[in-house]
Amino acid sequence: MTYSVAVAGASGYAGGELLRLLAAHPEFEVRTVTGHSSAGQPLIATQPHLRSLAHLTLRETTPEVLDGHDVVFFALPHGASGALTAQLTDVRLAVDCGADHRLTDAADWAAFYGGEHHEAWTYGVPELLVGAAGAKQRDALVGASRIAAPGCNASTVALSLAPGIAAGVIEPSDLVSVLAVGPSGAGKAAKTHLLGAELMGTANPYAVGGTHRHIPEIQQALRGAGAQAPVTISFTPVLVPMSRGILATSTARIAPGVTAAEVRAAWEDAYADEPFVHVLPEGVYPRTADTVGANTCLMGVAIDEAAGRVVVVAALDNLAKGTAGAAIQSANISLGLPERTGLSVDGVAP
């Protein structure tokens, strides 16, 4: 069967990527797109790359407009989807690409976001290790009716470090991640510090020193992966001149007595059978370009014996596998569709 789909927040970057992927998905039919200031315009006016959806017009983002679709994807600023999703009465599956339903702990929400805390939905990172014995988040997504797609930075780091945490080969208490990220993750609202002239030819750090909102999400995910001690992470994102992409360099101290082979095996075993997450051969590291538009996360793992640390370099497309692709992959699982349906593993490079 074909599922009817609505996308709320269709004029932004995450919304645009959802639509690009949905347009190529054989089991989903995009019937409705909504916007805020763009409501009333043709979709093609704000998303001129989506020629196949040129027939759609943006409508208002209201419960009435969204109700009645089989699946609704939300790509709204945080704080906007929580109230809205509570009013839906006739939506089989809702997938929120915003932050409102990611955090289980109201104190985390208060500390990093503020405003009303909403219940956490099933977390949309299927490959994430949870609990013991190689279990994955995938199982929880089967049949789920409410899914929280991950933060793009958070899922990149969680996927990078969960194998070592779950296997007990790294120490969870002194993690460090530094990310090179493209500005599309910051959204399409006009802000001076996101102007092209401010970002071209330069690297710009932001949210330095433990203030980024994805930190509690990472900690929650790594606790879920079985951390045997509190998870602490130094997390620094750096805007670099590429429209899309995250390259996360994450490093952790290797636990005492663990061998290099055991470290490497933790990662290789975790993702050996995954269609979208790949550990590259020893000595090979990924580039973000190789994941552009694809639903893949590519990962290189180095053991630095002199430093006593494992270094995991992970690349993904923040809009694709980091947001919209994860949302659709999770929706596929929820609905019982083959997980890979409509999702490419081939990046657009160079």
Active site residues: 152
Minimum separation from the CB atom of position 238 to a second copy (A): 5
x/- string (CB under 8 A) for a second copy, residues 243-262? xxx-x-x-x-x---------
Q: Rounded distance, CA 126 to CA 202, Å? A: 35
Tell me: does residue 108 bind a second copy (CB under 8 A). no
Distances (CA, A) of 254 to 39, 211, 248: 52, 26, 18
How many Å separate Cα 60 from the centre of its chain? 26
How many Å separate Cα 132 from the centre of its chain? 23
Among 198, 262, 268, 274, binds a second copy (CB under 8 A): 198
Residue nearer to a second copy on the CB measure, 36 or 146: 36
Minimum separation from the CB atom of position 30 to a second copy (A): 12
Residue nearer to a second copy on the CB measure, 133 or 197: 197
Minimum separation from the CB atom of position 132 to a second copy (A): 27
Among 39, 65, 242, 265, binds a second copy (CB under 8 A): 242
Q: Rounded distance, CA 288 to CA 77, Å? A: 25
Tell me: does residue 104 bind a second copy (CB under 8 A). no
Minimum separation from the CB atom of position 240 to a second copy (A): 4
Contacts of a second copy in 167-186 (CB under 8 A): 174, 176, 178, 180, 182-184, 186
Q: Rounded distance, CA 132 to CA 254, Å? A: 20
CB 164 within 8 A of CB 252: yes
Tell me: does residue 349 bind a second copy (CB under 8 A). yes
Contacts of a second copy in 21-80 (CB under 8 A): 23-24, 47-53
List alpha helices for 91-131, DSSP H. Answer: 106-112
Among 26, 196, 256, 336, binds a second copy (CB under 8 A): 196
Q: Within 10 Å of residue 243's Cβ, how many Cβ atoms?
A: 14
Tell me: does residue 350 bind a second copy (CB under 8 A). yes
The full DSSP string for 282-318 is TT----GGGGTTSS-EEEEEEEETTTTEEEEEEEE-T
Minimum separation from the CB atom of position 332 to a second copy (A): 17
Q: What number of chain residues touch a second copy (CB under 8 A)? A: 90
Tell me: does residue 288 bind a second copy (CB under 8 A). yes
Q: Rounded distance, CA 296 to CA 315, Å? A: 8
Tell me: does residue 202 bind a second copy (CB under 8 A). yes
Which residues lie closer than 8 Å to 174 by C-beta, 6 or more apart?
232, 252, 253
Residue nearer to a second copy on the CB measure, 48 or 143: 48
CB 261 within 8 A of CB 310: no
